[in-house]
Amino acid sequence: MAMSGKDFVKKIQKENQPLFEASMMNVRTWFQDPARTKEEYLLHFQGRMANEYMNLVGVAAAVANIGTEVTAEEMALLSKQAHDEAVHFRLVKEVIEHIAGEPINTKEWLDREFSRKANDKGAATLKTFATENDEVALACYQIVAEGRAATSWQAMADIGAVDPFVANKYARIARDERFHSSIGGLLLAKLADNNEEVQERATKIIDKMRLDLYNIIVGNTWDSPGARDLAAAAYGW
């Protein structure tokens, strides 16, 4: 029997916690390694900047193709998220310039990042699951990926990752990601309300998305001791 939309979203959010905790373990361990080099930081944040670019393009496309059934409130929330992603792109650019000690050409850095074969950007997971104008997949991505980002970026801020300048930038980004995750929760609660078909599809998407996201996390930080075991025990990997 289908659940109410609000209860379904609460269930998903509770089940996300092991992924979020494992992600924070990896982030803390990676950034607290005293042997971390400037070059490693630059490559890492190059990927982060590319991911913000991908998020901006993806959310802006959702806004551009939004259906007439959208409420005014939903339109405003998604439009704000698109603006937030553009701000995040600028903030990560500032992080890179701070670490590099000089201005950068964002096109050169993005082109270099997208020429790499590494699959380590969370934004790519949305394309894996979404069809055109796929509101269910977008909501799932917001709840899981943006929720994970919120907790991981807050962990960066809490440990003072790299230095206070970088930590402060990521505290700002973490706050926005929490808001974006809540947008997904509102949207999915509406779409899945007493709808067994939507709930089954969302559950299948999220089950696979969690594993994909964990592997992406490992790709741009590392697999810290116990992190994968924690997630695997929760999700049966």
Where exactly are the structural domains of the chain?
5-235
Q: Do the beta carbons of residue 175 and residue 224 sit within 8 Å?
A: no
Q: Do the beta carbons of residue 79 and residue 16 sit within 8 Å?
A: no
CA distances to 59, 129, 133, 134, 140 from 65, in Å:
10, 17, 7, 10, 18
Amino acid residing at 43: L
pLDDT for res 160: 98
Distance CA 132, CA 228 (A): 33
pLDDT for res 72: 94
Distance CA 73, CA 87 (A): 21
pTM: 0.91
Render each residue's pLDDT in the chain as its tens digit; 237 residues. 899 999 999 999 999 999 999 999 999 999 999 999 999 999 999 999 999 999 999 899 989 988 898 899 999 999 999 999 999 999 999 999 999 999 999 999 999 999 987 766 666 666 666 566 789 999 999 999 999 999 999 999 999 999 999 999 999 999 999 999 999 999 999 999 999 999 999 999 999 999 999 998 888 788 999 999 999 999 999
CA distances to 52, 68, 75, 208, 214 from 95, in Å:
13, 39, 30, 32, 24
Per-residue DSSP letter, 142? I
Q: Do the beta carbons of residue 42 and residue 99 sit within 8 Å?
A: yes
Superfamily designation of domain 5-235: Heme oxygenase-like (1.20.910.10)
